[in-house]
Amino acid sequence: MVRYRGYPGHILLTENSEDSTEKVLAYTRKIQNPNQPRLYPLKVPGLELYIYSAIPASRTTEGLDVRITAVNGEPYNPSVQCCFQFESGEIIIVDAMWKFHFGMGDYKSTVYSCKSLASEIPSVVSVSRNCSRTEGASVVVTRAEQPTGVLSVCVHAVYGYVNPELIVEWMEMLLLQGVQRVFVYPLNHTNMVDPRTLRALQYYSNRGLVTILPYTLTAYDKNPNRFQKTDGQMFSDEILPVYDCLSRSSKYTFTAIIDFDEFIIPESSPLHLLPVLDKLYKDYPNSAYFSLTIQNFVMNWTEMHKSDLIILRYLNRTHGLHDRVKLIHVQPRYHNVGMHTADLIKGYTRRKVSHSIVSVHHYTYCRNRWTTELCLRRFARYHDVGLLQVESQLRDRVNRVPKTLRHG
């Protein structure tokens, strides 16, 4: 047995090592099928800890750093190890380092970091309390995607009914803007996602834009009413796919986290998204992310334009709001990520971007915490016709999508 210096608990086992026993190798018995991309919880024996994915971080100068996306149901952060198995038959054991988690809910979405001095990527990783003594939960190591462009888009857990018309307009706008990859995570439980919504997502998967990863909730049988009320557990469940997506997207230059009712629109032209990001990147090279204000196009308000497109009917909006900003991350310059915030790696900065450059158009109804008086009568309304310049292009693309799919 050879011990490396540099990381706590870093042990290399070969087939000839005394410690390379059947017990150590037992973790290879239960491996998630690599041919079925999905997020499925694998329980670590003896712990309320569930492993979803293992993806090596990109652009690191510290050797191998495999990020483990997990859900922790323990009341504390348990000490666990990562057991790497390589194609050569070698096994390396390292201590898993807790990196960050979402601090709400009984089952907290969590990311661990497992570092090694190895120069190659392992084929399998198992997580257990002690690799030499206990069996673990094992997943095939997934490599970060080779970029198909400079910007990837992450959508948090998809559930319920999302209007297929809106999905089509959202996808076609991204394609017009030059985006080539969207990661989507529909909940993989009976009746959790409307079939009409799934058909729209599958259509864009077939066209090569969308990667669909069905997502199974941890300990769903203990609380089958998840996502039926807004609480801390729902927020934690929503963000786990974002953690996975950021790892899968780590080779992209930029990654945006947005929903289907949110459109990133530059002020100069709706289609200039990639050139605007390129300029921001050059002007502010030390930025960890670009923070965009939200302009709410309130759908309780009167439609101002006759159009076949949902997003072109509503031209009145609020001023830019800063309470729920959306972030476009520069990969990978963050320690911890939330829906609207991020903790940065030392040396990088936050960059708030003026709405005169780019903002997020959010097509929504009056928020629950807004009073009717505030939303319908007192909010200042700004008439914004910027999207009209691409109406014909967007309509032509949308009309090529089968009508039966758009209208369910």
- Look at the block and give the residue holding tokens 């799934």: 198
Least-confidence region, from 3-17, 63-77, 198-212, 386-400: 3-17
In angstroms, the CA 82 to CA 94 distance is 5
The answer to whether 146 and 249 are in contact (CB under 8 A) is no
In angstroms, the CA 326 to CA 242 distance is 13
Burial of 187 (0-12, 13-18, 19+ CB in 10 A): buried
The answer to whether 193 and 159 are in contact (CB under 8 A) is yes
Give pLDDT, residue 26.
Answer: 35
Q: Is the model's pLDDT at 2 over the cut of 60?
A: no
The answer to whether 179 and 151 are in contact (CB under 8 A) is yes
Q: Which residues of 106-123 are buried (b: 16+ CB within 10 A; e: fewer)?
A: bbbbbbbbbbbebeebbe
In angstroms, the CA 178 to CA 167 distance is 17
Q: Which two tokens stand for residue 247?
A: 């790892």
Q: Is the model's pLDDT at 344 over the cut of 50?
A: yes
Q: Percent of the chain having pLDDT more than 90? A: 73
In angstroms, the CA 321 to CA 325 distance is 7
Q: Is the model's pLDDT at 320 over the cut of 70?
A: yes
Q: Which two tokens stand for residue 173?
A: 């706008």
Domain with CATH 3.90.550 in the chain: 151-406
Mean pLDDT of 20-37: 44
What global pTM score does this model have?
A: 0.90
SS3 379: coil
Least-confidence region, from 46-50, 250-254, 303-307, 404-408: 404-408
Give pLDDT, residue 121.
Answer: 93
Q: Which two tokens stand for residue 291?
A: 């923070």
CATH number given to 151-406: 3.90.550
Helix 164-177 and helix 391-399, axial crossing angle in degrees, nearest 10 = 120
Give pLDDT, residue 36.
Answer: 61
Per-residue pLDDT tens digits for 224-274 = 888 888 899 999 999 999 999 999 999 999 999 999 999 999 999 999 999
pLDDT category of residue 392 using cuts at 50, 70 and 90 = very high
SS3 176: helix
Per-residue pLDDT tens digits for 79-126 = 999 999 999 989 999 999 999 999 899 999 999 999 998 889 999 999
Give pLDDT, residue 335.
Answer: 80
Q: Is the model's pLDDT at 31 over the cut of 60?
A: no
In angstroms, the CA 372 to CA 302 distance is 15
Host H or E run for residue 182: strand 181-184
